[in-house]
Chains A and B, each alone.
Chain A
Amino acid sequence: QKEVEQDPGPLSVPEGAIVSLNCTYSNSAFQYFMWYRQYSRKGPELLMYTYSSGNKEDGRFTAQVDKSSKYISLFIRDSQPSDSATYLCAMSASSNYKLTFGKGTLLTVNP
């Protein structure tokens, strides 16, 4: 079993849709949970991070963590064509900041 599992998609939605992206993990030592966005031929950029169970909101983006189920989600409201990218979940144990990434989900938002 991989430490981090992420559905690679691809996911195609119309503009304005609500998008749900998910990851599961098996390592209980993971304490920090991040979502990175990667545009084509660019490096990943940090979108959101959280270190506790519950929800964290930032504009149209909501990150959700359920440590008891080892499950994290990213919700995008009112999706825009500019949100078209690969979304990577990443996790870290607090001791070393080493990131373990999911495979990434390719999202396309159609105008």
Chain B
Amino acid sequence: EAGVAQSPRYKIIEKRQSVAFWCNPISGHATLYWYQQILGQGPKLLIQFQNNGVVDDSQLPKDRFSAERLKGVDSTLKIQPAKLEDSAVYLCASSGGSFEQFFGPGTRLTVL
């Protein structure tokens, strides 16, 4: 069974630029999560989708972050404009209806 795919793996941008990350969950998994993991911290949930509907986006900085899940499968997370404090690893995870979440390798973002 293929795991969660994410791209790109690494991205370096300047502050105030835009960036987008892509995630393809495990086939058949209805729930998709985006997490932000700052160096030395645990992952923090940004947004949770159930199929293509948003379940929880309470910790998503909506003035600069946006996310969508196309047809309940792939998802993109966008930051516009980026700030220095957005430097982190962005993790995508999916689950098939239980607490067990499967994580992708993450996208490491550096904002200069």
Contact = CB atoms under 8 A, between A and B. Distances in A.
B40 A32 contact: no
B103 A102 contact: no
Given A43-B105, A98-B48, A104 B100 contact: no
Interface string A75-111: 0000000000000101010101111111110000000
Contact of A101 (B43, B48, B95, B98): B43
B42 A88 contact: yes
A46 B41 contact: no
Contacts of B104: 43
Q: Which 5 A-B pairs have the closest CB atoms?
A: A101-B42, A43-B103, A97-B99, A32-B99, A92-B99
Interface of B: 4, 31, 40-45, 48, 55-56, 91, 93, 95, 98-106, 108
19 contacts: A41-B106, A41-B108, A43-B104, A44-B43, A44-B103, A45-B103, A88-B42, A88-B43, A97-B98, A98-B45, A98-B48, A98-B56, A99-B45, A99-B99, A101-B42, A102-B42, A103-B42, A104-B40, A104-B41
Given A44-B43, A44-B91, A104-B40, 9 more contacts: A45-B103, A92-B99, A96-B56, A97-B31, A97-B95, A98-B45, A100-B45, A103-B40, A104-B42
Interface of A: 4, 6, 8, 32, 34, 41-46, 49, 88, 90, 92, 94, 96-104
